[in-house]
Amino acid sequence: MGERGLDRLIGQYCKIVTKEPGGIKASVVTGFIKHIDHDIGFITVESRQGLGVLNIRSIVAIKPRQNRI
């Protein structure tokens, strides 16, 4: 997904599937996408666990969801 595609998701509630290189299992994070930094390659997500940062390269899938918080 290009930079424009990701920028459309800012402020939306999304389900994000990530898998670390060399990892066996994928992990799922659901929350609001707060900020995307294309230069560094990080996405800031606010979920029930708190504020977190995900590496764009480790993202397998992003799907917008209805707000359930």
**pLDDT tens by residue, 22-50:** 889 999 999 999 999 999 999 999 999 99
pLDDT value at residue 15: 95
pLDDT value at residue 66: 81
Q: Are 19 and 2 in contact (CB under 8 A)?
A: no
Distance of CA 25 to the CA centre of its chain: 17
- Tens of pLDDT, residue by residue over 1-21, are 566 778 899 999 999 999 988
Q: Are 26 and 56 in contact (CB under 8 A)?
A: no
pLDDT value at residue 6: 86
| Selection from 8, 6, 46, 7 nearest residue 29 by Cα | 46
Domains of the chain: 3-64 (2.30.30.100)
Q: Is the pLDDT of residue 60 over 90?
A: yes
pLDDT value at residue 1: 57
The Cα-based distances of 1 to 6, 8, 44, 68 in angstroms read: 7, 11, 17, 25
